[in-house]
Amino acid sequence: MLGGKSRSPNRSSSGINTSVTRRDFLSSTLLASGATLLGGANPLELLATQNNPTTQHAITKDDDFTGYGGVGEYRHSNGNTLSILEAGHAIRDGAYDPLPANIVDLHETYDCVIVGGGISGLAAALFFRRQVGPRAKCLVLENHPIFGGEAKQNEFLVDGHRLVAHQGSAIYQIQYPHSFLANFYDSIGLKTPKLTYQKWSGPDPELPLSRTPYEAAGLPSGHYGFWFGAKFGSKPGMWITDPIGKNLESAPIPQTSRTEWLRFLKGEPVEGKRFEHPRVEGDEISRYLDSITLEQHFIERFGLSRETVRTFLSPVEGGGSGLGPDALSAYSDYAFEMLHPLPEDQSGSDQMFPGGNATIARLMLKTLIPAAIPGPHSVEGVSRNSVNFAALDSPVNPARIRLSCTAIHIAHDGDPAKANSLTGIYQKDGKLYRVHARSAVMAGGCWTTKHIVKDLPESRRNAYAQFYRSPCMMANVAVNNWRFLYKMGITGCRWFEGIGNYMEVRKLALTGLESPTINPDSPVVLTLKVLYAYPGEPTEAQGKRGRTEMLTTSFRDYETRIRAQFDEMFSHAGFDAKRDIAGIILNRWGHAYLNPQPGFFFGKNGQSAPRQVLREAPFGRIAFANTDLAGAMDHRYSILEAKRAIEQLCDQVLTHS
């Protein structure tokens, strides 16, 4: 619940004379139209060169999908860009069936080919090297121009300050000392998982700030706002600050909704009903929860009406699974708890690097290929220093990472039960290349794996057919300062119509690059998580409809909507989007979240759970990883699924050949 554990809701500058690296499309429209009058140059290209001197990021017509990507190493990899999307859709649409003749055979043979260079693929490469030995050769194929998958970051330059924000994967929890995950963090150089954060500075009285986008630190203290707009008959919209403290008193909603929703926000169960959380995966409570929807569970546990769930809880309270409670197994809200991190009173709660788990991916890369990021093997080292891209795919490395390569075909050389090798084919810059391997790990996620493993048997195909994923767009909005929120007495807020649902000011963890202090005049990045839910429609249909909406809306349209919404909500507090927004980056994830439907986790009608079919054994020489196999989107599951996949290959496949 908001401000609770669920991930789903889950310098001194006056802002005057601020020089920003990039003005957004809209505030440059005048410049662009002037250019057209002057000589017919493509206005968007002109805009790019005039406004992005440091990024060298050419904004062409096509980029009205991708939009501005920021500065730094991640600037060409903001979510799924147009080229990523097109390469993926070519696989789906059968563009390589049958395979064309002109495939270049690289005559390279690996002990393991790993598809996907996100946390799971990087973890698979690490475990492979650790288990099989230093001479074992593996190749990671990753379709983006930089590793990390959903654990990537955006960078802005605002008024000379480098601001970093997450593209997707954001938070991590502190683990019990000496547990497997604690040891893993330690082994990649995350020696002090409890981070140090910016401190308050300046003459303004301090307000509580969150460390993560999901903490809602201002909610319990009354420094949080709910906004109600036209949907609730409020024009102009109205704010309620301290909504819980004020018991939602002036909210323009019916009394029954107010009572029910407050019960949920305060975490009060229905009288006489005690709810026991599942303790271990697969116990009686978890199996019951997996037999009903999350919506049904909220109705039972908090005495809510369906209407209250769908109006106020969807899609935010979807347990970090992308859709609203109506479409999900109730167990999806508790699956994260089964990893049992250190309790909050001992750990100090969730942790987050400025760019989220991108830093964990960078630490993993440095561990796998030390030359890939020069400098010390530490959080500061991988944050300060740039990636040495040439070192990633060097033949001297036993582990190689090949970027901007889309795997299109993986298959055994002969009968999967007997074959000693397999063939992998990937596309790079429009050309196809062939490599050879003794084994493979599919860590790219269900939506591509099912298309590229060409000899996948029917049982696994049927299992993957029950994996539904929905889109998410992470919009990072850099503002010159957040004084407008401070004036309203809030550090975070939530709304129930328009684009996104919530945002908050974060104090950043210190990695050696950030200002050590924060105050209302500091430039910050506000992150809007945009989910696409259509309560009442089937799970798969909601994902498809959302994807269509997200993929057919231009950068310009989204930017217009975000700016208009900010103006509508905050202009009364002195905010002016034209002046105060320094830049917007959109990160579109077409298949962001796995949406587990009832029965996903433990099966139903006597059938095995779909994830179990894929996890129980490799198929021939191919094992399956990625966090989606756990049914819960969490980098810890990405690591654990990779560990299981590599152990299966070592125990059941590679020892026999």
Total residue count of the chain as it appears in this document: 657
The answer to the question of residue 542 lying near ligand FAD (CB under 6 A) is no
Side-chain-facing half-sphere of 605: CA atoms under 13 Å: 2
What minimum distance in Å lies between the beta carbon of 125 and ligand FAD?
11
Of the candidates 164, 84, 10, 77, the one whose C-alpha atom is nearest the C-alpha of residue 445 is 84
By beta-carbon proximity to ligand FAD, the closer residue of 52 and 167 is 167
Partners of residue 329 on adjacent β-strands: 293
Which residue from 10, 81, 143, 154 is in contact with ligand FAD, where contact means CB under 6 A?
143
By beta-carbon proximity to ligand FAD, the closer residue of 615 and 635 is 635
Within residues 435-454, the interface with ligand FAD by CB under 6 A covers 443-445, 448, 452
DSSP for 401-426 reads: EE-S-EEEEEEESS-TTT-S-EEEEE
Torsion angle in degrees (nearest 10) through CA of 578, 581, 582, 588: -120
What minimum distance in Å lies between the beta carbon of 568 and ligand FAD?
25
Query: Which secondary structure element, helix H or strand E, spans residue 398, and what is its range?
Result: none
List the Cα angle 405/153/148 in 5-degree steps: 35
* H-helix segments, 438-497: 446-452, 458-464, 483-488
What minimum distance in Å lies between the beta carbon of 591 and ligand FAD?
8
**What's the one-letter identity of residue 506?**
R
Of the candidates 314, 555, 588, the one whose C-alpha atom is nearest the C-alpha of residue 472 is 588
Which residue from 635, 646, 649, 650 is in contact with ligand FAD, where contact means CB under 6 A?
635
Within residues 348-367, the interface with ligand FAD by CB under 6 A covers 357
Within residues 392-431, the interface with ligand FAD by CB under 6 A covers 406-407
Instruction: Give the SS3 label for residue 538.
Output: coil
Q: Which residue has tokens 């650790």?
A: 130
Residue 491's contacts (CB-CB under 8 Å, 6 or more residues apart) are 207, 208, 209, 210, 217, 218, 223, 224, 485, 504, 505
Within residues 614-633, the interface with ligand FAD by CB under 6 A covers 626-627, 633
Within residues 155-184, the interface with ligand FAD by CB under 6 A covers 168-172
Which residue from 6, 7, 441, 575 is in contact with ligand FAD, where contact means CB under 6 A?
7
The answer to the question of residue 592 lying near ligand FAD (CB under 6 A) is yes
Which window, 69-77, 95-103, 144-152, 304-312, contacts ligand FAD (CB under 6 A)? 144-152
Which window, 142-150, 280-288, 323-331, 486-494, contacts ligand FAD (CB under 6 A)? 142-150
The answer to the question of residue 314 lying near ligand FAD (CB under 6 A) is no
Q: Which residue has tokens 């490395």?
A: 397
Which residue from 141, 453, 479, 645 is in contact with ligand FAD, where contact means CB under 6 A?
141
Q: How far is it, in rounded angstroms, from Cα 529 to Cα 499?
A: 9
Q: How far is it, in rounded angstroms, from Cα 30 to Cα 578?
A: 12
Tokens of 534: 């259509």
What minimum distance in Å lies between the beta carbon of 430 and ligand FAD?
15
Contact flags string 84-123 toward ligand FAD, x per CB under 6 A: -------------------------------xxxxxxx--
What minimum distance in Å lies between the beta carbon of 479 and ligand FAD?
21
Cβ neighbours of 287 (radius 10 Å)? 15
What minimum distance in Å lies between the beta carbon of 505 and ligand FAD?
17
Chain residues in the site for ligand FAD (CB under 6 A) = 7, 115-121, 141-144, 149-151, 168-172, 357, 406-407, 443-445, 448, 452, 472, 474, 589, 592-593, 626-627, 633-635, 638
